[in-house]
């Protein structure tokens, strides 16, 4: 496909130019291009089409700065992923949810990148927020590091909504206790009794709330079934060699519930190195429903987290506060994950049926 590039005009076309060309008032042209119910200007359909056709012909584009001055808003929402490393492991469905919600309300989305160590460069962080012309900010908290930004954001004049952060207000997060109970009950229903909870790495800084909540849900389900809940097995703390010995011992678990899908894949690698077959020798489950989970060599049983809907909801909560005369904090929205049962845990069930 050949793309045709035309050099931009030296002066951008304005609403005033369109109005003069068409013999209309500036207000009439503005109403034709951006209809508003609270404006007492009535236009015939053919007049609206004539204005829009002329605007297309001259490649007219609204001036964002002028619109911001009139409305006192920038029509711009910020989206930031708070994590310590450059590895982006968060689902792109969250970005899709924010962008789709923004498009419905003629908002733009600005992706923000923060300095890796906030304490060393707080001025840079303040500058990013202040110069991005934001009406609101949505923060996806991957590593429970939002507290590092709190002192800076507490004095902002726009709403801040947290994704994946367990707070009583201004947040949209997952009911991970219930999700972990569901997963553990699924493993029990397959006939497993010796079930372990596994995490591959130690948490850096303050542990994310989901670690304790998922472990808590696992313990509650085990205790409700009259089964022994084991201490969380952390491979980084125990070591790979000890983990391999654990998997190869006669007392190894029948099933292992991993903190997330990435941890489950690391566990699968350790199991295969010991010659164990999944799910015939050991059942393995994850959490989050990473897109690759369904396409791995053994499709992974996991919990699906509705990141798209969470982000979509977060945008609309932010928009409500942006438009409110006196915005008030909203009660946090808690979403429920959904079990995705796949081959990595299903062999025992087939054997019993």
Contact 193, 201 (CB under 8 A): no
User: What integer pLDDT is reported at residue 34 of this predicted model?
Assistant: 81
Shared-domain flag, residues 191 and 291: yes
Shared-domain flag, residues 284 and 192: yes
Shared-domain flag, residues 115 and 164: yes
Per-residue pLDDT, averaged over 68-85, amounts to 69
Reported confidence tier of residue 351, pLDDT bands at 50, 70, 90? very low
In 3D space, the residue among 289, 194, 294, 288 whose CA is nearest the CA of residue 247 turns out to be 194
Measured from the Cβ of residue 325, the count of other Cβ atoms closer than 10 Å reads: 4
Cis, peptide link before residue 279, omega less than 30° from 0: yes
pTM given for the model? 0.77
Position 84 in a domain: yes
Domain that holds residue 23: 15-62
What sign does the CA torsion over 144, 146, 147, 149 have? positive
Contacts of 162 (CB under 8 A, 6+ apart): 138, 139, 141, 146, 170, 171, 172, 173
Shared-domain flag, residues 26 and 79: no
Cα distances (angstroms) measured from residue 213 to each of 27, 174, 178, 262, 314: 56, 10, 9, 18, 22
CATH number of the domain at 54, please: 1.10.260
Position 205 in a domain: yes
Position 28 in a domain: yes
Position 69 in a domain: no
Encode burial over 73-99: b for 16+ CB neighbours within 10 A, e otherwise.
Answer: bbbbbbbbbbbeeeeeebbebbbebbb
Shared-domain flag, residues 199 and 281: yes
Shared-domain flag, residues 48 and 190: no
Query: Tens digit of pLDDT for each residue in 262-316?
Result: 999 999 999 998 899 999 999 999 999 988 888 888 999 999 999 999 999 999 9
Give yes or no for residue 155 having a pLDDT over 80: no
Give yes or no for residue 353 having a pLDDT over 50: no
Shared-domain flag, residues 201 and 345: yes
With residue 301 as reference, give the H or E element that holds it: none
Taking all residues of the chain, what is their mean pLDDT, rounded to a whole number? 84
Contact 144, 208 (CB under 8 A): yes
Position 154 in a domain: yes
Query: Tens digit of pLDDT for each residue in 171-216?
Result: 999 999 999 999 999 999 999 999 999 999 887 667 889 999 999 9
Contacts of 273 (CB under 8 A, 6+ apart): 244
Position 7 in a domain: no
Position 47 in a domain: yes
Q: What DSSP line would sit under 183-237, residue for residue?
A: HHHHHHHTT--SEEEEESSPPSSSPPHHHHHHHHHHHHHHHHTT-PPPPPEEHHH
In angstroms, the CA 214 to CA 234 distance is 14
Contacts of 105 (CB under 8 A, 6+ apart): 75, 319
User: What integer pLDDT is reported at residue 258 of this predicted model?
Assistant: 97
Give yes or no for residue 64 having a pLDDT over 80: no
Shared-domain flag, residues 226 and 239: yes
Torsion of the alpha carbons at 185, 189, 190 and 196, rounded to the nearest 10: 30
User: What integer pLDDT is reported at residue 33 of this predicted model?
Assistant: 87
Position 2 in a domain: no
Which of 31-45, 124-138, 307-321, 331-345 is the least confident region? 124-138
What domain count does the chain have? Answer: 3
CATH number of the domain at 321, please: 3.40.50.2300
Shared-domain flag, residues 234 and 343: yes
Reported confidence tier of residue 251, pLDDT bands at 50, 70, 90? confident
Shared-domain flag, residues 345 and 206: yes
Q: Is 351 exposed, middle or buried (0-12, 13-18, 19+ CB in 10 A)?
A: exposed
Q: At what angle do helices 45-57 and 26-33 cross, to 10 degrees?
A: 90
Shared-domain flag, residues 38 and 114: no
Shared-domain flag, residues 250 and 183: yes
């Amino acid at each position: 496909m050949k793309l045709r590039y035309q050099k931009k005009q030296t002066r951008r076309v304005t609403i005033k130019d369109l109005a003069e060309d068409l013999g209309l008032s500036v207000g009439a042209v503005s109403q034709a291009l951006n209809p508003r119910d609270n404006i007492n200007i009535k236009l015939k359909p053919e007049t609206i089409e004539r204005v829009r056709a002329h605007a297309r012909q001259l490649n007219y584009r609204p001036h964002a700065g002028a619109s911001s001055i009139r409305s006192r808003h920038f029509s711009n929402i910020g989206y930031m992923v708070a994590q310590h490393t450059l590895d982006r492991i968060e689902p792109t469905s969250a970005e899709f949810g924010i962008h789709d919600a923004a498009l419905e309300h003629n908002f733009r989305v600005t992706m923000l990148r923060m300095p890796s160590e906030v304490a060393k460069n707080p001025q840079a962080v303040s500058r990013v927020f202040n110069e991005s012309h934001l009406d609101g900010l949505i923060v996806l908290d991957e590593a429970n590091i939002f507290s590092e930004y709190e002192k800076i954001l507490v004095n902002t004049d726009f709403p801040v909504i947290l994704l994946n952060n367990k707070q009583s207000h201004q947040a949209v997060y997952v009911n991970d206790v219930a999700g972990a109970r569901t997963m553990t009950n699924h493993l029990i229903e397959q006939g497993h009794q010796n079930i372990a909870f596994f995490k591959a790495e130690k948490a850096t800084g303050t542990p994310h709330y989901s670690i304790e909540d998922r472990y808590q849900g696992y313990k509650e389900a085990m205790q409700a079934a009259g089964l022994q809940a084991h201490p969380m097995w952390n491979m980084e703390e125990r070591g790979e060699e000890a983990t391999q010995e654990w998997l190869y011992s006669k007392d190894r678990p029948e099933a292992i519930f991993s903190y997330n899908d990435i941890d489950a894949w690391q566990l699968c690698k350790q199991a295969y190195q010991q010659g164990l077959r999944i799910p015939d020798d050991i059942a393995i489950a994850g959490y989050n429903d990473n897109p690759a989970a369904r396409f791995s060599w053994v499709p992974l049983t996991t919990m699906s987290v509705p990141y798209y809907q969470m982000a979509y909801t977060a945008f609309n909560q932010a928009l409500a506060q942006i438009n409110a005369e006196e915005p008030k904090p909203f009660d946090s929205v808690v979403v429920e994950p959904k079990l995705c049962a796949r081959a990595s845990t299903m062999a025992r069930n087939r054997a019993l049926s």
